[in-house]
Structure 1
Amino acid sequence: MTLRPRLLAVPAVLALALTAACSNSSSSNGGGGGSAAPLTGDCVKYQAYAGNSGKTVTMFASIRSPESDSLEKSWAEFSSCTGIKISYEGSPDFESQIQVRVTGGNAPDLAIIPQPGVLAQMVKTGKVVKPPAQTEANQAKWSPIWKTYGSVNGTFYAAPMSANMKSLVWYSPKAFKAAGYEVPKTWAELMTLSGKIAASGSTKPWCGGIGSGTATGWPATDWLEEVVLGTHGGEVYDQWVSHQVKFGDPKIATAMQTVADWMQNPAWVNGGIGDVKSIATTTFQDAGAPILTNKCAMLQQASFYAAQWPKGTKIGADGDIFAFQFPAVNPSVGNPVEGGGEFVAAFASRPEVQAVQNYLSSSEWASSRVKVSSGWVSANQGVDKSLYTDPIDKLSAAALTDPAATFRFDASDLMPAAVGAGAEWKALTAWFAEGQAIPKVAADIDAAWPQQ
């Protein structure tokens, strides 16, 4: 599941306070700049979006303060120069409210959608408007697989906006150095290191926690996804997402056994917290804390986990905490990378809406967003990687933009909601909490799959 911590809920509309920094024209040209008065000074770079001054574009998403504050700063200059006001609203109930608004005739102009499955639901309403040609052309800066995630039944509807890196293992560089451990580069090395740490007697190799309120179980879906992709590659992963390969298939059963050997090994987990069953009751936010006290050595979690470390924790290769890329189980798979992201869908085709779509799909906007704050990454290959100042962001961006990587989106976000955000969470939680057998877990998930 693509889940990111949202802090300080502020569901009220946050309208940008804009100033007219540059000259502009009120003529409408669809963001093409043809009939708009020339922009001057620092605003020249926004000429392609000019001609819509005084217009307002509404945007709705799940992103809230403080992250939404940085989001609004990222387009502040664009708004000032073009005169297009972006009226933004973030809600903790986005997934349910967007459906209500769209079907009730109160759709926003733009919505930032965090799951391809939600995008598909929106497309079914018939209200999603296909993006302009420039937005589609901007997809050339992304790995082609991203365009498929913004498409429904082969038609492109929503441009990717952000990305997050799931394939990370968090650890303490200080603890590794003190113990003489090397960062593993392969799955075999990772398993050997896990056994070595367990044999030391003082530290368990792995922390784990899958508790997340009503979403309890989602971290376990990530573990399984990492192993499926890293064992069988992208083709089998895609077939699994579409249920051509079922959870009961031997390929997925093999992957589940690999997860069990790794995260259900009583000698390997859950240092500083409890036994294997404690993984089901430990929140994902708290799961990594024992690394700081050397009670456990490693935690598999996404790039956004950086926000969970206590204030003052130094994150970096020579710091208190850092991360390395989760290696492929099967070396022949190459460089598997799992992640998530968000997509911008439109419910209106007015020129000012298309101008904003074009800008938000550009490398220039992605670069602006990177400059505003750390903790945000794009898989847009046009972003200068030197702009990233945070070490985890640098690591994530390098993996997400690697043209040789086999990137795949979070599988549970691609599966039908009844499965990926329902039966799978429940069954994998029972797998850890009750020790249910793999065939039973797989059968429960397969039974929940909607009939075609």
Structure 2
Amino acid sequence: MQLKNSRRVLLPVAALAAFGLVLSGCASDSGSGGDSSAPAGPGDAGTADGVVTVYGTIVDTEAELLEKSWADWEKANNIDIQYEGSKEFETQIAIRAQGGNAPDLGIFPQPGLFSDMVSRDYIQPAPDGVASNVKDGWSEDWASYATVDGTLFGAPLMASVKGFIWYSPAQFKEWGVEVPTTWDEMMTLTKTIQAKTGKPPWCAGFGSDAATGWPGTDWVEDLVLRQAGPETYDKWVKHEIPFTDPAIADAFNSVGDILLQTDYVNAGFGDVKSINSTPFGDVARVMGDGSCALTHQASFFDGFLQDPKNGNATVGPDADIWAFITPSVKAGGTAVTGGGEIVAAFSNDADTAKVQEYLSSADWANSRVALGGVLSANKGLDPANASSPILQESIKILQDPNTTFRFDASDLMPGIVGAGSFWTGMVDWINGKPTDEVLKTIDASWPSE
């Protein structure tokens, strides 16, 4: 799940199915760009008119900050960037492309959706300037999410780091415990805190309206990557191994060693089943008041912690709450999961190419991050521009050449799985459905070729 710093549009399965039906009829439509040799699809095929339209999922205050991030560049380059944000981006972008009303640039929150549009010849190959920026400023892992069949079609934009374990430094000091460096050490930490307090150490909330269950998928993805490694993770995402593979079952079982144990959850809320009824943001309140010792959530969680309605906790190494990355099986592991966006062009005119190049640059990354609330994996980003200690820490992780980064698996899977059966499967699992049955059900939903 991506919120605040990494945005996944939360669509019910029916909407995702409708989206697939829309796309199935798009490939044969001709564009309206005036050049019959251009890839199928709408958009300006060659006229630079000083206006570049951008469409994405970023809305409200963050949309205002996005527009502010390029305001000076707009004036200096005499290009009017017109941004439109929509919570219905994932369905509307296909409809607009088919109907000849696509934007010049789209900000895609899911690589799977981006790749699907590329496969239907709607997306233009990345211009040379964009390709150069991606080569210089982004890791191979990140570049791969904007690449289809060996060709670069877009560029990464913002990012989030998932898999943080949030805790109270003061409580750790009181209990005489330290940040774990391996998964086994974290399990020992869990047992120690439970023994010292006589209460469950962990709290979790899977509640998110129609998207209830997504925080559980983040847990599983972390464990697949850390236990089975990036190669198995990649095969899982592509369905080269099924959900019923032992590696995936092992990840579920490891997560269950915490989330399915009544001695370990659900601090401040109730029993194991209360995880499903607890809104994920409400966890910040019990972390802030000290009734929960540990929770698993992405880098955006600091915003919830610092919200006055949740207790206005401070975040930092010596503050009320701090965080460490979910440890790997072996000490020193550097694998992390996360999310982000891909900027892709429907048009190939000079103005569009110029804006896309700017958005792929370190200059833009520094401009946006300095405004607060988000981060980027661009190598040229100065961590000092980040607005909070956890964002600064996240940038260091993303920029570390030893970090193995993998995009959120459910965002890479077909929507009916990643934003459907995987989410509902997590809910069923918390409610007591056996792991093997859950995995069989999820795997059976994978669309046939």
Matches within 5 A, 1:33-44: none
Matches within 5 A, 1:78-157: 78-140=73-135, 141-157=137-153
Question: 2:396 is matched by which residue type in structure 1?
Answer: A
CA shift, 1:124, in A, is 3.3
Contact 1:6–1:63 under 8 Å retained in 2: no
Question: 1:388 is matched by which residue type in structure 2?
Answer: A
Contact 1:210–1:218 under 8 Å retained in 2: yes
Contact 1:53–1:83 under 8 Å retained in 2: no
Find the partner of 2:249 among 236, 247, 253: 253
Match of 2:240 in 1: 244
* Residue 63 (str. 1) matches residue 58 (str. 2): yes
In the alignment, the residues of structure 2 paired with residue 386 and residue 92 of structure 1 have an alpha-carbon distance, to the nearest angstrom, of 31
Matches within 5 A, 1:27-426: 55-140=50-135, 141-309=137-305, 310-311=307-308, 312-331=312-331, 334-373=333-372, 375-426=373-424
> 1:424-452: per-residue Cα shift (whole Å, max 9, x none)?
1111110002x111110110011011112
CA shift, 1:254, in A, is 1.1
Contact 1:231–1:328 under 8 Å retained in 2: yes
CA shift, 1:54, in A, is 6.8
Match of 2:32 in 1: none
Question: 2:131 is matched by which residue type in structure 1?
Answer: E
In the alignment, the residues of structure 1 paired with residue 362 and residue 5 of structure 2 have an alpha-carbon distance, to the nearest angstrom, of 26
Number of residues of Structure 1 aligned to a counterpart in Structure 2: 405
> 1:298-347: per-residue Cα shift (whole Å, max 9, x none)?
11000111221223321111212221111113448x21111000010111
Question: 1:448 is matched by which residue type in structure 2?
Answer: S
In the alignment, the residues of structure 2 paired with residue 103 and residue 283 of structure 1 have an alpha-carbon distance, to the nearest angstrom, of 37
Contact 1:112–1:345 under 8 Å retained in 2: yes
Q: Which runs of 5+ in 2 are unaligned?
A: 8-46
> 1:272-310: per-residue Cα shift (whole Å, max 9, x none)?
101111111111111232122222111100011122122
Contact 2:175–2:193 under 8 Å retained in 1: no
In the alignment, the residues of structure 1 paired with residue 441 and residue 330 of structure 2 have an alpha-carbon distance, to the nearest angstrom, of 27
Question: 1:451 is matched by which residue type in structure 2?
Answer: S
Question: 2:106 is matched by which residue type in structure 1?
Answer: A
- Determine helix, strand or coil for the equivalent of 1:286: helix
Runs of 4+ in 1 over 4 A off after TM superposition: none
In the alignment, the residues of structure 1 paired with residue 384 and residue 409 of structure 2 have an alpha-carbon distance, to the nearest angstrom, of 31
Contact 1:58–1:87 under 8 Å retained in 2: yes
Structure 2 length-normalised TM:
0.87
In the alignment, the residues of structure 1 paired with residue 385 and residue 290 of structure 2 have an alpha-carbon distance, to the nearest angstrom, of 33
CA shift, 1:131, in A, is 1.5
Contact 1:209–1:281 under 8 Å retained in 2: yes
Match of 1:33 in 2: none
In the alignment, the residues of structure 1 paired with residue 6 and residue 177 of structure 2 have an alpha-carbon distance, to the nearest angstrom, of 35
Contact 2:146–2:152 under 8 Å retained in 1: yes
> 1:143-169: per-residue Cα shift (whole Å, max 9, x none)?
101111112233221100011000211
Contact 1:103–1:125 under 8 Å retained in 2: no
Question: 1:65 is matched by which residue type in structure 2?
Answer: D
In the alignment, the residues of structure 2 paired with residue 272 and residue 167 of structure 1 have an alpha-carbon distance, to the nearest angstrom, of 21
- Determine helix, strand or coil for the equivalent of 1:204: coil
CA shift, 1:389, in A, is 4.0
In the alignment, the residues of structure 1 paired with residue 96 and residue 304 of structure 2 have an alpha-carbon distance, to the nearest angstrom, of 33
Contact 1:165–1:303 under 8 Å retained in 2: yes
Contact 1:217–1:429 under 8 Å retained in 2: yes
CA shift, 1:175, in A, is 2.4
- Determine helix, strand or coil for the equivalent of 2:317: coil
With over 3 angstroms needed to count, the CA separation of the structure-2 counterparts of 1:203 and 1:318, relative to structure 1, is farther
Contact 2:6–2:340 under 8 Å retained in 1: no
- Determine helix, strand or coil for the equivalent of 2:201: strand
In the alignment, the residues of structure 1 paired with residue 389 and residue 417 of structure 2 have an alpha-carbon distance, to the nearest angstrom, of 35
275-284 or 383-392, which deviates more: 383-392
Question: 1:390 is matched by which residue type in structure 2?
Answer: S
Structure 1 length-normalised TM:
0.86
119-128 or 235-244, which deviates more: 119-128
Contact 1:6–1:65 under 8 Å retained in 2: no
> 1:35-76: per-residue Cα shift (whole Å, max 9, x none)?
xxxxxxxxxxxxxxxxx9971100111101211111111111
In the alignment, the residues of structure 2 paired with residue 128 and residue 53 of structure 1 have an alpha-carbon distance, to the nearest angstrom, of 18
- Determine helix, strand or coil for the equivalent of 2:283: coil
Contact 1:53–1:82 under 8 Å retained in 2: no
Question: 1:88 is matched by which residue type in structure 2?
Answer: Y
385-394 or 415-424, which deviates more: 385-394
Contact 2:383–2:392 under 8 Å retained in 1: yes
Match of 2:41 in 1: none
> Percent of aligned pairs with the same residue?
45
CA shift, 1:207, in A, is 0.7
In the alignment, the residues of structure 1 paired with residue 279 and residue 5 of structure 2 have an alpha-carbon distance, to the nearest angstrom, of 12
CA shift, 1:125, in A, is 3.3
Contact 2:74–2:81 under 8 Å retained in 1: yes
Contact 1:208–1:288 under 8 Å retained in 2: no
